[in-house]
Structure 1
Amino acid sequence: MEQRTRTRSKFKLVGPKEVGYNVKQVDLFLEQARAYFLNADTQDRSITSHDVRTASFDAAKGGYSAQAVDAAMDRIEDEFVLREKELLIAAKGEKAWMMKIGKTASVLRARLHRPDGERFRRPSKRNAQSYDTYDVDMLCRELLVYIEDNGELSVDVVRRAVFAPAKGYDGYEESQVDAFLDKVVELMAAIDPLPGK
């Protein structure tokens, strides 16, 4: 039975004692995403690139390799972003798409221009887990060069960014940084063409 499951798997499975992503949850999400992508007029709730980017799966022993699933989700998100761009341009013209990109870039740029140590709020609780300000600010400086000077920075660098932990007021509030980087990924995925496109 185990062998049959493994041969039908969409992704590599981790060892039986290792922790990966819940297979059923991953398969269900990908089936729904594929069905919507192939038929945008489906009666089901629409799935957006944001839904793909923020999807999460429970941990499960013997589940799918997180690395393999994450890489696939990145590719799927890129395809959804491209589809959303094409649909918006078809409905409202290229100017509407450029205005959307410009508005997002303007909001992000305003925060990126803040001084080091002041870009994000600090946690209100003294012992709350937070992100190291130096690490976050270093990425923000790279993002500013990317946005304003056409700097070279891969969206995957932002997707996989890891910051040293801090405690309370010594760091930036994690939820605010995460929400900001979510918008950055949205912008970068929209700007940078897909490989081979």
Structure 2
Amino acid sequence: MSNFPNVARGKRGYDPAQVDDFLDNARAVFDGRAKGLAAADIRHAAFDLKKDGYEPGVVDAALERLEDVFANRERQAARSELGEKEWFGRARELAQVIVNRLSRPERERFSRVGLLKQGYSVEEVDRFSSRLIRYFSEGSAIGVEDVRTVTFRPQRGGYSEAQVDLLLDSVTDVMLAVR
């Protein structure tokens, strides 16, 4: 049983049984009693909404902290296995791939969905992409939380959500790798 607060009576929140099961599994993996859960899995965890469930914001914040712990452990293991130089070399390579993608001309950074389909707002994604370029090239302030929580309005004919989300996951990986 977790200590998460429930949403206001009659409102919908995360399914407590699913959250508790996920966290029990995470605890077992962390303690070495189970395998198969990585930081990326925590980042992508999703739960059904249920009347009187757990407060989503509180659960999400806990999952972000848990992802950080798992990412730190994975980073330490990879550094031990690969060596410091190789580890940072791979992080730099991934960062360069990201910068190459983001350096494309505005309105052409990602594939577009069909005119009748909803994608991410091109203008909003390009604006956030500019912030990421400044982060990678100038070291401007942007946190991993900003990347994890960014949202974009839907737009017909917008950018492919899958491509944008994959890039944001890669940015998060790089940020966690160099912490």
TM-score tier by shorter-chain length is over 0.9
Larger displacement relative to structure 2 (127-136 or 89-98): 89-98
Percent identical among aligned pairs is 38
Give the structure 2 partner of residue 144 of structure 1.
Answer: 133
Runs of at least 5 residues in structure 1 that lack an aligned partner in the other structure: 1-7, 193-197
TM-score norm. by structure 2 comes to 0.94
**Map of 1:23-172 to 2, 5 A cutoff?**
23-39=16-32, 42=33, 44-124=34-114, 126-167=115-156, 169=157, 171-172=158-159
How far apart are residue 140 of structure 1 and its match? 0.4
Which residue among 150, 153, 173 is the counterpart of 2:160?
Answer: 173
1-side partners of 2:100 and 2:37: how far apart?
A: 29
Runs of at least 5 residues in structure 2 that lack an aligned partner in the other structure: none
How far apart are residue 96 of structure 1 and its match? 2.2
> For residues 6-64 of structure 1, what are the alpha-carbon distances to aligned partners after superposition, in whole Å with 9 as ceiling and x for unaligned?
xx54211112311111111111111111111122xx4x332111111111111111111
2-side partners of 1:181 and 1:144: how far apart?
A: 12
Q: Any idea what SS the aligned residue of 2:119 has?
A: strand
> For residues 82-112 of structure 1, what are the alpha-carbon distances to aligned partners after superposition, in whole Å with 9 as ceiling and x for unaligned?
1011111222211121122112101111101
Give the structure 2 partner of residue 5 of structure 1.
Answer: none
1-side partners of 2:51 and 2:93: how far apart?
A: 43
Q: Work out which of the two has the higher radius of gyration on C-alpha atoms and give 1 or 2.
A: 1
2-side partners of 1:91 and 1:131: how far apart?
A: 38
Q: Is the 8 A contact 1:21 1:59 kept in 2?
A: yes
2-side partners of 1:27 and 1:175: how far apart?
A: 28
Q: Is the 8 A contact 2:113 2:160 kept in 1?
A: yes
TM-score norm. by structure 1 comes to 0.86
Q: Any idea what SS the aligned residue of 2:142 has?
A: coil
Q: Is the 8 A contact 1:88 1:96 kept in 2?
A: no
